[in-house]
Amino acid sequence: MQLLDLTLDSPAENLALDEALLQNAESAEQASEVLRLWEPREFMVVLGSSSRATVEARLAVCRQRRIAVLRRTSGGAAVVTGPGCLMYSLLLDRRRPELRGIDTTHQFVLDALVAALGPLKPGVARRGTSDLAIGERKFSGNSLRVKRDWLLYHGTLLYRFPLRLMGQCLGSPPRQPEYRGGRSHALFVANLPLEAPPLREALARAFAADEPLATWPEELTARLAAEKFTDPDWTYRLL
């Protein structure tokens, strides 16, 4: 697998790069699987593709604090991310048997992450549909977007994140895993007590991502950032 450790300047560009990698793969312009690692330089709220903005985000707080609100193309609930949250994105070939179903895809990716992180922090486990947790506290949420032959699987790894921002910027998600037990964000999430370098190394090792990706779709990324991910009609298409 190829490795792309790249954080772009703006929130929109970072979301657009994930989408551009997926589009390139589906059009056969990029034929190899990729692990991308990045960490936002500023805080942002990212809505899921079907999130209702006024339900899942506290928009007035975000405006007041100048926290960008964007919408990704994958499913799942809204998240807050920023410095102290390592992001990963996997571009995977769906023609592999283990990736043909949604449940088996979650199992494939999350089991690999558990195996990689467990030696660094015992007790890491998969919880709910697509969470990683230590005990009853979630530190990673994940989502995916599926196309015909390729899929994008991406998620968050909290390690030095100001957790109070979640309660300040997010509403209660409309769908919650049973193990959450109705807890607030403050009582439900936690930071994984590791630093970014070993986390990066563990993820690269988990997916045998040891070949640097020499080029990435710069023009398509810029176009998607300008035409889609900064477009209010896309971000606020569901209120």
pLDDT tens, residue by residue, 60-94: 999 999 999 999 999 999 999 999 999 999 999 99
Asked if 35 and 88 touch (Cβ cutoff 8 Å), the reply is yes
pLDDT of residue 153: 98
3-state secondary structure of 153: strand
Is a pLDDT exceeding 90 seen at residue 29? no
Asked if 39 and 8 touch (Cβ cutoff 8 Å), the reply is no
**Single pTM value for the model:** 0.96
User: Residue 151 is part of a domain; what is its CATH number?
Assistant: 3.30.930.10
How many domains, in total, are found in the chain?
1
Is a pLDDT exceeding 90 seen at residue 31? no
Closest by Cα among 189, 235, 237, 236 to 71: 235
pLDDT tier for residue 189 given thresholds of 50, 70 and 90: very high
Mean pLDDT in residue range 104-121 = 98
β partners of residue 125: 133
Question: Look-up: residue for tokens 């910027």?
Answer: 169
Is a pLDDT exceeding 90 seen at residue 104? yes
Q: How far apart are CA 237 and CA 9, in angstroms?
A: 25
3-state secondary structure of 171: coil
Share of the chain above pLDDT 90, in %: 98
Q: How far apart are CA 202 and CA 195, in angstroms?
A: 11
Cβ neighbour number for residue 206 with a 10 Å cutoff: 20
Mean pLDDT in residue range 199-212 = 98
Mean pLDDT over each residue of the chain, to the nearest integer: 97
pLDDT of residue 209: 98
Host domain of residue 203:
2-235
Mean pLDDT in residue range 25-33 = 85
115-154 pLDDT, tens per residue? Answer: 999 999 999 999 999 999 999 999 999 999 999 999 999 9
Q: How far apart are CA 173 and CA 183, in angstroms?
A: 11
Q: E strands of the chain, at which residues?
A: 2-5, 34-38, 44-47, 68-71, 79-81, 85-93, 124-127, 131-134, 137-146, 150-158, 211-212
Q: How far apart are CA 94 and CA 105, in angstroms?
A: 9
The amino acid at residue 42 is: E
pLDDT of residue 179: 98
